[in-house]
A = this chain, B = another copy of it.
Amino acid sequence: MPEDTAPADLTTMRFSRAREAQAMAVLEDYAEMIDDLARQMGEARITDIAARMGVTHPTATKAVARLKREGLAVSRPYRGVFLTELGTELAARVRMRHRVVVDLLIAVGVPAETAEIDAEGLEHHVSEATLRAFEAYLAQRG
């Protein structure tokens, strides 16, 4: 039954990679969201971030604090949240990757709405190599 039985340290590495990816997920989603709001509303307010993420405002405040700590955003009390150049770059990469993941899912037959939902979690675990493969697949099939 155990057809492969991969070396134990390769298995270990897989799990450790998944944990790393997960640690980035919240940062990535908030960066993208703040960028979205800045485009759509002109600025990103804590309340709007929280509403869209489906969390309470203190939770959003904490996430923004982490973004600031990591040099991805800045903000001053009672003013909106703004991405740094680093944060903007992250948001751009995340948005692009999100789009590719959705497109790939749809291309292999996943219903569009389902693709949108699943992509929100999937995207954070798509490595550079996999992303390139997805892009190649999409390009090659027109």
Q: State the A residues within 8 Å of B (CB).
A: 1-2, 5-6, 8, 10-18, 21-22, 25, 29, 36, 39-40, 51-54, 104-105, 108-111, 114-118, 120-122, 124-127, 129-130, 133-134, 136-137
Contacts and interface: CB of A to CB of B under 8 A. Distances in A.
Given A14-B120, A53-B12, A116-B14, A39 B2 contact: yes
A133 B108 contact: yes
Given A12-B51, A39-B1, A136 B109 contact: yes
A15 B53 contact: yes
Contact of A15 (B1, B10, B54, B118): B54
A130 B110 contact: yes
Copies of this chain per assembly = 2
Nearest 6 CB-CB pairings of A with B: A121-B125, A18-B121, A12-B54, A14-B120, A110-B133, A109-B133
Contacts of A121: 17-18, 21-22, 124-125
A116 B6 contact: yes
Contacts of A29: 15
